Structure 1
Amino acid sequence: MNPRLSSDRGFGFFVSVDGPGGAGKTTIVRHLAQLLVAKGEHVHVTAEPSQGPIGTMAAQLTETVTGHALACLYAADRYHHVETEIQPLLTSGHVVVSDRYIASGLVVQRFDGVDPVFLWQLNEDVLQPDLTVILEADPNVIAQRLSERGPHNRFQLTKRSSHTEVEFYREATAHLVGAGFELFTVDCARQPPEQSASAICDRVMILLTQSRELV
């Protein structure tokens, strides 16, 4: 995994937010962006799969393409996403917040039985975030939320999918820590999304201030 060189980063900052389906990622990302804007930052919110051509294809094929093929498609979108959207904005000084990124790439295709070593190898050269946020929640709480809102993809139709996904994220988190990622975990089931976003914002501002002092 190649962290971004200081000469490439400008004054930008890259934060990714990942976690099990039903954990509230999109709502928390929205609140986080609002808080960062209020602090005077130029914020760009993005998501994966991206809105680019590969991401659009991946989203369309998620229900019908499986396993290694889908994992490769999502990884291709991730590299293209960085090259065409994320990196240019970081270079221009934006705070980029991505709803799903590497951690999701290490988790979702495991429902299709893809080896986590293979998933790591697919993603090992992608841009490392300045902060990787992992949302944690009681799988029973997540299961209830999914039951109320309905599944968003075929992976959430798997029996006890919430419990399995939580465990996959725990394993992915441990792997990312071992790989030297700056990790921040948030238990979003025990507090409202605004409070989770505030905690993430505080961490971002500390790291952002430190990074700017080094430039």
Structure 2
Amino acid sequence: MTIQPSSDRKHGLFVSVDGPGGAGKTTIVRHLAQMLVAQGEHVCVTAEPSTGLIGALASQLTETVTGNALACLYAADRYHHVETEIRPHLKSGHIVISDRYIASGLVVQRFDGVDPVFLWQLNEEVERPDLTVILEADPHVIAERLSERGPHNRFQLAPDSSHVEVRYYRDATNALVDAGFDVLRVDCSSRPPEQSAAVIRDRLKTLLMPDEVLT
């Protein structure tokens, strides 16, 4: 989804939003995009798996392919996603918001027992976001939300999947911080999605300021 109001931005900004299933990623991303458009920004909202050929294949095979093979397929989609969609929109001055990105790549295949070191190596050359947002929530809250909506994939079928996923995201967040990523943690346990989006928007304001204003 690409929305293009009037703006004279010459350099894009890349924001990724990740977090456990049930944290409200898609709703928060939608609110964030609307807020940024209201500010006059060019916004491109995208997601992973991507809508490209590799992403479509990854989505199709998620329920049947496991382990390293699926991890490699998702990583291939991520690199292709960057090359064919994210970078072109950044070059045209868009703020690109990706619903799932590298943090999810460090988490999801761990449910299949894939080594976190291997997952990091698969993803270490991918484009770094200007801001990596990690949505956090109490695992009991997430489990209740998943119970109400139903699981979206096989990784959410285990009774304790929410607790495990929260722990995996904590590990991924620590790895990204240690690697120098600009990470923003947003607690979504009780905060309405529009308020979570506002927290991200406010953080982005500092990245959108001209250098001369910051100095």
User: What TM-score bracket applies, with the shorter chain setting the length?
Assistant: over 0.9
Deviation readout 1:99-119 (Å, 9 max, x if unpaired): 000000000000000000000
**Is residue 32 from structure 1 mapped to residue 27 from structure 2 by the alignment?**
no
Offset, 1:207: 1.1
Offset, 1:212: 8.6
Deviation readout 1:115-166 (Å, 9 max, x if unpaired): 0000000000000000000000000000000001000000000230000000
Offset, 1:190: 2.0
**How high is the TM-score relative to the length of structure 2?**
0.93
Partner of 2:45: 45
**Is residue 72 from structure 1 mapped to residue 72 from structure 2 by the alignment?**
yes
Q: Tell me the secondary structure at the aligned position of residue 15 of structure 1.
A: strand
Does structure 2 conserve the Cα–Cα contact (< 8 Å) formed by 1:11 and 1:212? Answer: no
CA distance in 2, matches of 1:64, 1:213: 52
Partner of 1:60: 60
Partner of 1:169: 169
Does structure 2 conserve the Cα–Cα contact (< 8 Å) formed by 1:43 and 1:96? Answer: yes
Partner of 2:6: none
User: Structure 2 vs 1, CA of residues 211 and 96 (structure 1 numbering), >3 Å: closer, same or farther?
Assistant: farther
CA distance in 1, matches of 2:172, 2:12: 26
Q: Which amino acid aligns with 1:147?
A: S
CA distance in 2, matches of 1:40, 1:161: 40
Offset, 1:209: 1.5
CA distance in 1, matches of 2:164, 2:123: 22
Partner of 2:200: 200
Q: Which amino acid aligns with 1:166?
A: V
Offset, 1:210: 4.9
**Is residue 129 from structure 1 mapped to residue 122 from structure 2 by the alignment?**
no
* Gap runs ≥5 in structure 2: 1-8
CA distance in 1, matches of 2:133, 2:101: 10
CA distance in 2, matches of 1:93, 1:211: 16
User: Structure 2 vs 1, CA of residues 172 and 153 (structure 1 numbering), >3 Å: closer, same or farther?
Assistant: same
Offset, 1:211: 6.0
CA distance in 2, matches of 1:168, 1:208: 31
Q: Tell me the secondary structure at the aligned position of residue 21 of structure 1.
A: coil
Offset, 1:66: 0.3
* Gap runs ≥5 in structure 1: 1-8
Partner of 1:118: 118
Partner of 1:96: 96
**How high is the TM-score relative to the length of structure 1?**
0.93
Does structure 2 conserve the Cα–Cα contact (< 8 Å) formed by 1:137 and 1:189? Answer: yes
Partner of 2:158: 158
Q: Which amino acid aligns with 1:103?
A: A
Offset, 1:10: 4.8
**Is residue 108 from structure 1 mapped to residue 108 from structure 2 by the alignment?**
yes
Q: How many residues align?
A: 206
Q: Which amino acid aligns with 1:57?
A: L
User: Structure 2 vs 1, CA of residues 37 and 142 (structure 1 numbering), >3 Å: closer, same or farther?
Assistant: same
**C-alpha RMSD of the superposition:** 1.4
Q: Which amino acid aligns with 2:84?
A: T
User: Structure 2 vs 1, CA of residues 182 and 100 (structure 1 numbering), >3 Å: closer, same or farther?
Assistant: same
